[in-house]
């Protein structure tokens, strides 16, 4: 059995008719193993539908994660926007838990003109509050803030690993495409990708590598970081070296492909992953 379950960010393009339920079936037909439910424009899934998705996913052996809405900023100067941001994450977590998703990811905050250490403490405070709310509601899903693609955004790998150290149960969603774009192409070697796994292992424990929430696709960047996702064939990111590091460090969990050609590139990643595991 694959240690790393690979699939798409949302509904595969070849899904007919287009729905989350049919997407689960289509992924199984394609031989993919995972889907990230995209709530990026808002959470519009009720409990009944979510539980139907859960049953289908279990039937077809498709694992699920969730991406919360984009409209999140836990460092906003407006307290109401912080409250609204946390509510969006909680809504995504709640719906994801109904559907059986294991992890919910989100872009946590912007720095604005603030000191990064102060932003860290503010994000940590709000994350702690959300963890308490999830526990109070018995919502069984992991909060996994995502590494971000530009220097204006909170979310370096080091920041997110530190969050996990100080808030047990929080783990980073490692978006290798974002790390590449944020570094303006510098973070792009096997040694870089391996060092990311070593950082997580050494500071969050070996178990943190066994339930990794990962994003990977082609990406274009400019002088301000991430611009847009690209098909794998068009990217400079050494995605094969990413997969080699994941295999070498025995990483398990869920890998979401966010390519513009979702299932095509997810199948490429899965095929390469299988090749690397068999050598």
Query: Could you tell me which of 118, 124, 108 has the C-alpha nearest to residue 162?
Result: 124
Residue range 216-245: average pLDDT? 97
Q: Quote the mean pLDDT of the chain.
A: 97
Mean pLDDT within 266-272:
98
pLDDT score for 1: 53
Look at residue 2 and tell me whether its pLDDT is greater than 80: no
Q: What is the pLDDT of residues 124-181, one digit of tens each?
A: 999 999 999 999 999 999 999 999 999 999 999 999 999 999 999 899 999 999 999 9
Whether the full predicted model's pTM is greater than 0.75, yes or no, is yes
Query: What's the pLDDT score for residue 279?
Result: 86
| Residue 143, pLDDT score | 98
Query: Cα–Cα distance between 226 and 236 in angstroms, integer?
Result: 13
Residue 238 has pLDDT above 70, yes or no: yes
Q: Is the pLDDT of residue 185 over 80?
A: yes
Q: Indicate the CATH number of 4-278 among 3.10.20.30, 3.40.50.1820, 3.40.50.410, 3.20.20.150.
A: 3.20.20.150
């Amino acid at each position: 059995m694959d240690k790393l379950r690979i699939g798409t960010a949302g509904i595969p393009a070849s899904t007919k008719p287009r729905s989350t339920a049919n997407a689960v079936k289509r992924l199984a037909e394609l031989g993919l193993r995972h889907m990230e439910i995209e709530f990026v424009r808002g959470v519009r899934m009720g409990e009944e539908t979510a539980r139907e998705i859960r049953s289908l996913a279990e039937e077809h052996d498709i694992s699920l994660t969730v991406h919360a809405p984009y409209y999140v900023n836990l460092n906003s100067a407006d307290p109401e926007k912080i409250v609204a941001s946390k509510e969006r994450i909680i809504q995504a977590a709640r719906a994801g838990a109904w559907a059986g998703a294991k992890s919910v990811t989100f872009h946590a905050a912007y720095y604005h003109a603030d000191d990064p250490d102060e932003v860290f403490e503010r994000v940590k405070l709000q994350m702690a509050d959300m963890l308490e709310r999830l526990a109070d509601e018995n919502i069984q899903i992991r909060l996994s803030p995502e590494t971000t693609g530009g220097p204006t955004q909170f979310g370096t790998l080091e920041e997110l690993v530190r969050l996990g150290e100080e808030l047990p149960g929080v783990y980073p969603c490692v978006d290798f495409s974002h790390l590449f774009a944020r570094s303006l192409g510098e973070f792009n070697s096997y040694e870089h990708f391996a060092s990311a796994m070593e950082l997580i292992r050494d500071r969050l424990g070996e178990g943190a590598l066994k339930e990794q929430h990962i994003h990977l696709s082609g990406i274009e960047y400019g002088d301000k970081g991430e611009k847009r996702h690209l098909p794998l064939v068009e990217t400079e990111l050494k995605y094969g070296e990413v997969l080699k590091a994941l295999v070498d460090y025995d990483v398990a969990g869920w890998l979401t492909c966010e390519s513009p050609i979702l299932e095509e590139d997810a199948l490429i990643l899965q095929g390469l992953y299988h090749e690397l595991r068999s050598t």
